[in-house]
Structure 1
Amino acid sequence: MRWLPLPRQAEVSSERLPFAGCHAIKTPPKAEWENAVRPLRELGTSFGGWTAFVEHDANLAQESYRLRVENGRIYVHAGSPRAAFYACHTLLQAWDGKAIPVMQVDDSPTLAWRGVVEGFYGKPWTHNARLKMLDFMGAHKMNIYLYAPKDDPYHRERWREPYPAADAQRLNELAERARDNFIEFVFCISPGLSMVYSDPAEFEKLTAKIEAVRQMGVRSFGLLVDDIPEELQHDADKQAYTSLAHAHADLANRLNHWLKERDADSWLIVCPTFYHNRGEPPYVRELGERTERGISIMWTGPKVVSREITHEDAELFKLAIQRKPFVWDNYPVNDYETSRLLMGAITGRDAETLKHLEALVSNPMNQAEASKVALGTYAD
């Protein structure tokens, strides 16, 4: 059996039954449930007698499912359409192209949010590589992707300018592919190199840029103020704010209000300027105090590239920011050592650490396909 990630509980019989698809797939009536069984539908209709019964089970957690395979019958009980989608992929991973085993699987994730942040320096992924990555993530039960390539000029240096039509269309295709794979698509913008935080006109340019993406159906956004000067740069900001943390918290709060006024389910994630520590910098504590609850704050661990993140590290940072950290994990990213491909399994993040995190997202390599080796271990 080649399951990735490995289900929490599985009872698998040695008996295997011929399988080439389903004669019928029965789901709840809403469109999301139909999308959830797309991996099975894509096998085509088989007249071998197999029927899949997919039901919503309100007693299960949102991403939990129970999968049972008997002679000619597949039963899926799921807490949500996303969970049913995961059950379908568990089934297909057990299929060798000819037969599936009689089995029962009970599964749920350890961590609510797990996925990928395309946040490296250097040549960004191609559009096709991103689409394939989203398919890979969905098939391996990763549920969040952050679009944040440092060398996309419209993400960082030219953040005020709207995306050209062709680029905007590609972003829209990414958002759609993410939805197809039950992945939360997070559009990130990085204005900190030049933004005058206190200028209302600058805020309008920021929200105009975000509004164009919001119209694509995106509801989650990242405000990245990492890798910028560690002090306020503009005279107007020096007069309006007492510190850099004050400015960043104010901007985050205003943007969060703007988003919530338009969609109550919006989500804002902030990457701070001081993102690798154990909560010691005054900036971190002030940002945590001033930033409203419900806004997530990112962290790379005690170092930029952290070989280990312990639960003690996470708890210290959590106390400083007054919420669980959203971990931007700089592995297997290789933009700092481009001559190497980093393809080993992720280590140094144990189950106890995960209890202290809101999310764990991997920053991969510029080489998208090679990154999937390490990313598979994140999924697991």
Structure 2
Amino acid sequence: MQANKKHTTPLGIIEGFFGREWQWEDRTNYATFLARHGYDFYIYAPKSDKHLRMQWQQDWPTATQQKLIELRGSYKDAGIQFGIGLSPHEIYRDNSRDQRQHLKTRIQQLNNLQPDILCILFDDMRGDIPGLADIQIDIAHEAAALSTASRIIFCPTYYSFDPVLEKVFGKMPDNYWQTFAQKLDSQIDIFWTGEKVCSPDYTREHLLLVDELIGRKPFLWDNYPVNDGAVKSNLLQLRAFTQSHAQLEGHVAGHAVNPMNQPWLSQIPLASLPLAYQQAQNYSPESAFTLISNDLCGSALAQQLARDLAAFQDRGLKNLSDTEQLALRHSYSQFHSNPFAQEIIDWLDGVYLFDPACLTE
């Protein structure tokens, strides 16, 4: 299924989840997949890569550097922009000259990969710090000045109206978002996840409100179909994107999707987003799922997936009886060597169960 690109909003994926990471082969394969389906960019930012997060000051080992150079080449060959997401973990809690020198050195190292996009990410960090916005803006401006990337995207610590962020990361400082509107370079985009951390829909009213609040159109970080948390890892989120996604053209600066830990199964919902933008009011999530699953998986497996969709996405693994799990394992084991079916079997076998340790490593 070749996408007929008619949208102007940049669409892409950000590999930005916790837990079991993709293999290098999976990442490479996505260059072709994204190009075929009308996507524009890929951002490498796995939470498990300590050289982008907890040990962000340290460059990758030589072997990893080589893998990233090869990966960057694959995306260039496919005509897909390549991005890197750097999370200088709580750099603002030690805003010393040494830390700033580390930042300068790390950005220069990232420049060796010739990224088209650089993301400076402050998500999933403590935020109850006086003057937080000003410190983060200063860091973002410094990184932007050093980077050779043509696009800079900034992720604030509070990137949604969801109260869970203050519950986990502390009370948001006063006028946090308004400070970005006033002081953050207007050429720098800001990631936003919607009314919730995992928002099922996006209304125009909400996006206009955010536009006014942060002084620019939000760049969506869409946490569907990601399933890396304690609750979501229990699910396989395979349905196509909702109808609301067909109404986003012109209201967002870009749209980055955070996929599942399962790279093959992620392709099913991911392939629907460009269709939503292209077809607008004519977009049907149900029709998109049928079309895409048949195209990617073959008709027999697509029919099986349609039958089991509610079990995978609504009930989840923990609510399936041993008998049901055994029946599902039998059904999908018949699709020999099919990577989509194999990921379902692995999910049933507990390969993707959430490990709280992944949040602190």
Q: Comparing both chains, which one has the higher relative contact order based on Cα–Cα distances under 8 Å and sequence gaps of 6 or more?
A: 2
Is 1:132 aligned with 2:25?
A: no
Give the Cα separation in 2 of the matches to 1:246 and 1:110: 35
Is 1:341 aligned with 2:240?
A: no
Is 1:147 aligned with 2:44?
A: yes
Give the Cα separation in 2 of the matches to 1:350 and 1:374: 12
> Which string of whole-angstrom CA distances, capped at 9 and with x for unpartnered residues, describes residues 1-36 of structure 1?
xx443x3xxxxxxxxxxxxxxxxxxxxxxxxxxxxx
**What's the % identity of the aligned pairs?**
30
**Deviation of 1:170 (Å):** 0.8
Q: Number of aligned pairs?
A: 264
Name the aligned partner's letter for residue 339 of structure 1: N
User: 1:253 is matched with which residue: 141, 148, 152?
Assistant: 141
Is 1:359 aligned with 2:247?
A: no
Give the Cα separation in 1 of the matches to 2:82 and 2:233: 27
Give the Cα separation in 2 of the matches to 1:200 and 1:360: 35
Q: What residue number does 2:9 align with?
A: 112
> Which string of whole-angstrom CA distances, capped at 9 and with x for unpartnered residues, describes residues 117-143 of structure 1?
101110111100100112110111211
Is the CA contact 1:187–1:218 (under 8 Å) kept in the aligned structure 2?
A: yes
Q: What residue number does 1:193 align with?
A: 90
Is the CA contact 2:91–2:99 (under 8 Å) kept in the aligned structure 1?
A: no
Is 1:317 aligned with 2:210?
A: yes
Give the Cα separation in 2 of the matches to 1:312 and 1:188: 29
> Which string of whole-angstrom CA distances, capped at 9 and with x for unpartnered residues, describes residues 153-188 of structure 1?
111111011100001111111111111111111111
> Which string of whole-angstrom CA distances, capped at 9 and with x for unpartnered residues, describes residues 248-294 of structure 1?
111111221223xxx4x63211011110129x972111122211111
Is the CA contact 2:31–2:74 (under 8 Å) kept in the aligned structure 1?
A: yes
Cα distance change on mapping 1:286 and 1:197 into 2, 3 Å: farther
Q: What residue number does 1:96 align with?
A: none
Is 1:121 aligned with 2:18?
A: yes
**Deviation of 1:194 (Å):** 4.6
Is 1:379 aligned with 2:274?
A: yes
Structure whose alpha-carbon radius of gyration is higher: 1
Give the Cα separation in 2 of the matches to 1:319 and 1:204: 34
Is the CA contact 2:9–2:252 (under 8 Å) kept in the aligned structure 1?
A: no
Give the Cα separation in 2 of the matches to 1:158 and 1:325: 29
SS at match of 1:229: coil
User: 1:243 is matched with which residue: 118, 131, 155?
Assistant: 131
Is 1:205 aligned with 2:98?
A: no
Is the CA contact 1:332–1:365 (under 8 Å) kept in the aligned structure 2?
A: yes
**Deviation of 1:115 (Å):** 1.0
Cα distance change on mapping 1:270 and 1:143 into 2, 3 Å: same
Q: What residue number does 1:177 align with?
A: 74
SS at match of 2:29: helix
Give the Cα separation in 2 of the matches to 1:150 and 1:377: 25
> More helix per residue: 1 or 2?
2
Name the aligned partner's letter for residue 81 of structure 2: E
SS at match of 1:154: helix
SS at match of 2:191: strand
Q: TM-score, normalised by structure 1?
A: 0.66
Give the Cα separation in 2 of the matches to 1:308 and 1:171: 34
Q: What residue number does 2:280 align with?
A: none
Q: What is the root-mean-square deviation in Å for CA atoms of aligned residues? A: 2.0
SS at match of 1:349: helix
Is the CA contact 1:307–1:348 (under 8 Å) kept in the aligned structure 2?
A: no
Q: What residue number does 2:153 align with?
A: 269
- Structure 1: gaps spanning 5 or more residues: 8-107, 233-241
User: 1:288 is matched with which residue: 181, 198, 202?
Assistant: 181
User: 1:299 is matched with which residue: 175, 179, 192?
Assistant: 192
**Deviation of 1:196 (Å):** 4.5
Give the Cα separation in 1 of the matches to 2:195 and 2:105: 35
Name the aligned partner's letter for residue 144 of structure 2: N
